[in-house]
Structure 1
Amino acid sequence: MVLVLNRMYFPEGTQGILEWNGNLVCYTIELPWLDNQRRISCVPEGEYILQKRFSPKFQWHLHLQDIPGRDLILIHPANDAKKELLGCIAPVTQHTCIGKGSCSRKALTKLKTLVYAAIERHEEVKIRIQSKSSDSHQEDKV
């Protein structure tokens, strides 16, 4: 299974549309692209393996594997990228403005249902992160 995250970059944050087989799963919010700096930048474009992960803070969520120069990049609930994210990705049901969205927990539940079912079937699950248009603000792509 390969999920595709199409991003748009803005100075205030990164907006995304997450799809599987051409169907909308949810929208996403992230921090702006700041040259892959830890804790203040969204992750580089590329393809990453997703795994299930549990923590007391986020309960069950998703973990992106093997991101160059980064570790512990998660997909977890958040409705405001600048206040609640440290380089991770937050699923949301809709964008409310740049770097903000609504009903993140609901969006994460929908995403987990899809991804966890594939993992239970012993499928490898990947996320492909790419620019929505060729006019990307991210110049060094993975």
Structure 2
Amino acid sequence: MLLVIQVYCGFAQNQFNLTIERKLTTAHCTLGYLIADDEVLCYSLELPWKDNQNNISCIPEGTYDGILRYDKTDGWRIQLKDVPNRTGVQIHMGNYTSQIKGCILVGKSASIDQCSVQNSAAAYQKLKKAFYGTSTPNSTPNKTITLTFK
């Protein structure tokens, strides 16, 4: 029994499962929640659904694998793989839909009237801490990243 528990715990530690639960869509934006391993971390902001048109629409519902990117000014991003008809879709900091072309912004609070999220840097750090397990990581854990959009 102990062996089974250790194997299961080891498997769970190697997974990082994110869910974007889209809650409200207007003509200008889509607001929702970013959930990591069943814990709501922050709000999410995306473009509205416009038939997956590049640069003006959020991405289709579904499950995507993610990879880490370290080459941007913020030093760390999750990028989605194999999004239909899209490349470079990432979760990153920002406040308004004018700052994205299909990516996902995160924030500690949200405004439907302004189609915006606020305190994006704090939300981004919370996401980073959820992935690494610490605020001050010194190495990258070997984790499989999965993102589900509902």
TM-score using structure 1 length: 0.82
Q: Which of residues 20, 28, 43 in structure 2 aligns to 1:5?
A: 20
Amino acid in structure 2 at the alignment position of 1:66? D
1:125 equivalent in structure 2: 145
Unaligned 5+ residue runs, structure 1? 131-142
2:94 paired residue number: 78
Higher relative contact order (Cα pairs below 8 Å, separated by 6+ residues): 1
CA distance in 2, matches of 1:33, 1:58: 27
1:109 aligns with 2:125: yes
* Residues 36 and 130, structure 2, Cα contact 8 Å, conserved in 1: no
Within a 5 Å distance, the mapping from 1:30-49 to structure 2 comes to 30-49=46-65
Following TM superposition, where does structure 1 have runs of at least 4 consecutive aligned residues deviating by more than 2 angstroms?
A: 54-59
The alignment's C-alpha RMSD in Å is 1.8
- TM (norm. structure 2) is 0.78
Distance in 1 (alpha carbons) for counterparts of 2:74 and 2:100: 12
Among the aligned pairs, what percent are the same residue?
Answer: 30
Aligned to 2:84: 68
Structure 2 residues not aligned, in runs of 5+: 1-15, 134-138
Aligned residue pairs total: 128
**Which amino acid in the other structure matches residue 103 of structure 1?**
N
CA–CA separation in structure 1 for the residues paired with 2:130 and 2:18? 10
Answer with 1 or 2: which has the greater Rg. 2
